[in-house]
Amino acid sequence: MIETHPFDDAIRLETVGTGTVRGRTHPEWANMVGPFGGITAAAMLRAIESHPDRIGEPLALTVNYAAPITDGDFDIFLRAARTNRTNQHWIAELSQGEDAKTTATALFALRRDGWADTESRPPSAPDPDGIPPTDPGLVRWTSLYDMRFVEGPMPGKDGRPSPSSTTTLWVRDAGRRRLDYPALAALCDIFYPRVYLRRGAIVPAGTISLTTYFHADQQQLDGLGSDFVLCTAHANRFTRGYFDQSAQLWSRGGVLLATTHQVVYFKG
């Protein structure tokens, strides 16, 4: 018997042609409309990292959510636009039939030793083991994670506007799948829309472009296993139907694993 995990099921891809892989949506990853953006980012990254021409590790990924992916198969077309000695630039596009649903660019790179420093500091947070898990429950995919909110949980039915858009939470995979680059890419989209918190209510909102910078190298990821990751996000400006979010993902040991940014549409 082969043990499977919903994350691996959702990013499983088969090669159907030169530079084309096929995947399919999984009901457990359903969001409000279409799948969780994080799982789509993970599938795009997996498509690239499993390409035979790929060099190095993920350094940057931008995913543009052009239209909802409908239930069923999707194809990802990908190509290395440029391969240099130490980095490689990818372009990828996810389609269903003739319809482009997601576009992406990614940068893979060889890392080398040298001067290093982490200038940002992690938010202060109590140990995750002492915080009860919460499933925001608005959409299906959140049950696949073990979330421990430190600050800014999702507002309930009696929610009130908050002056701060900051949410900080510990997250790990509910099935204790170990953290790899696709899983880290997905975690970067773990946050419910910041406008919910500011407005104290659920309003129509969705990520339209997501950019992630991966700071953790493979060895650092391997060392984390399936432990909690401390995720913190805030918005800078909400205006005329859009806002931006910036976020950081930290290991329990204080390693900045990724910084990630997105622009989100909202109504109301």
By beta-carbon proximity to its own copies, the closer residue of 209 and 226 is 209
- Binding status of residue 85 toward its own copies by CB under 8 A: no
By beta-carbon proximity to its own copies, the closer residue of 28 and 93 is 93
Q: Which of 75, 215, 233, 251 binds its own copies (CB under 8 A)?
A: 215
Q: Which of 3, 14, 98, 113 binds its own copies (CB under 8 A)?
A: 113
Q: Which of 1, 115, 124, 158 binds its own copies (CB under 8 A)?
A: 115
DSSP-based three-state secondary structure for 196: helix
188: region left, alpha or beta (phi > 0 left; psi from -120 to 50 alpha): alpha
Q: Which of 12, 13, 143, 238 binds its own copies (CB under 8 A)?
A: 238
Contacts of 23 (CB under 8 A, 6+ apart): 10, 11, 12, 13, 14, 43, 47, 73, 74, 76
State in Å, rounded, how far the first CA of the chain is from the last one: 50
By beta-carbon proximity to its own copies, the closer residue of 12 and 242 is 242
Return the DSSP state at 30. B
What distances in angstroms separate CA 99 from CA 15, 95, 104, one per listed residue? Answer: 19, 5, 15
Q: Which of 15, 82, 138, 178 binds its own copies (CB under 8 A)?
A: 82
In whole angstroms, how close is the CB of 266 to its own copies at the nearest point? 8
CA distance 102 to 56: 24
CA distance 188 to 65: 15
Q: Which residues pair with 263 in a beta bridge?
A: 209, 244
**Tokens read off for 226:** 């399936």
Q: Which of 1, 116, 124, 130 binds its own copies (CB under 8 A)?
A: 116
- Binding status of residue 267 toward its own copies by CB under 8 A: yes
CA distance 243 to 107: 25
Residues 3-32 that bind its own copies (CB under 8 A): none
Q: Which of 114, 33, 20 minimizes the C-alpha distance to 67? A: 33
Asked whether 249 and 260 are in contact (CB, 8 A), the reply is yes
Stretch that binds its own copies, among 28-36, 47-55, 87-95, 122-130 (CB under 8 A): 87-95
CA distance 251 to 146: 15
Residues 136-165 that bind its own copies (CB under 8 A): 164-165
Q: Which of 131, 221, 227 minimizes the C-alpha distance to 184? A: 221
- Binding status of residue 124 toward its own copies by CB under 8 A: no
Q: Which of 26, 167, 199, 251 binds its own copies (CB under 8 A)?
A: 199
Size of the site for its own copies (CB under 8 A): 63
Interface positions with its own copies (CB under 8 A): 59-60, 62, 64, 66-67, 81-82, 84, 86-87, 89, 91, 93, 99-101, 103-105, 107, 109, 111-120, 164-165, 195, 198-199, 208-209, 211, 213, 215, 217, 234-242, 244, 246, 248, 256, 259, 261, 263, 265-268
